[in-house]
Amino acid sequence: MTAFHAMVGFNGVWLDMNEASNMLCTGTCYDNQKAAMPVQNNLPYIPSGRDLESKAISLDAVHADGTVELDAHSLYGTMEVHNTHNWFKDTQKERTMIISRSSYSGMGKYGSRWLGDNFSTPEYMAYSVTGVMGNNLAGITLAGSDICGFIGNTTAQLCGRWYTLGAYYPFSRNHNGWNYEPQEPWVFANVIAQGSTTI
């Protein structure tokens, strides 16, 4: 980071996609790599109810030191935040803003978090409230979500309501994915001026 900082001065870092991932395969790429008894099949509870190996490496993968991926998956992101925090503290002698997607117990001591990719729907706007509060309870005080949603096209009404809610997030931003309609506030100026929607 020191060499990059010398070229481009910065005083904060956004650590996105900072967990071990695999965009090409689900868990393993070849059948002979699959565990005989996958650990995911024995979990008493599966967060989100979806395949935890989707776009990720196998939860059964064993690291060089013998650690199983299930136990280290989110720890990787937290250690990245921890090391980034220490670089700023020791090298730059400053406290900085570090936003992470991946987190593990204790990460709130070193950085902040946003809730990751969400959808442009009222349901995901509602989910963001409990998501932010859950992070706050876990000691990550600066947490928030993508206002108006990241995946899909929003509407003036949804975006306006989300901005109102987002004013109460400890951290928020408007951010959406490629190939979706722009959703900056000024995009909806004509819609609001024509009175065709209520915000």
Q: What is the pLDDT of residues 26-36, one digit of tens each?
A: 889 998 999 99
The yes-or-no answer on residue 60 being catalytic is no
Is 20's pLDDT higher than 60?
A: yes
| pTM, to two decimals | 0.82
Query: Looking at residues 20-49, what average pLDDT do you find?
Result: 88
- Catalytic residue, from 19, 53, 60, 146: name it: 19
The yes-or-no answer on residue 80 being catalytic is no
With beta carbons less than 8 A apart as the criterion, state whether 125 and 150 touch.
Answer: no
At 23 the pLDDT is 86
Residues 117 and 180: their CA atoms lie apart, in Å, by 14
CA distances from 141 to 77, 134, 138 (A): 17, 10, 8
At 74 the pLDDT is 86
- Catalytic residue, from 16, 51, 181, 184: name it: 16
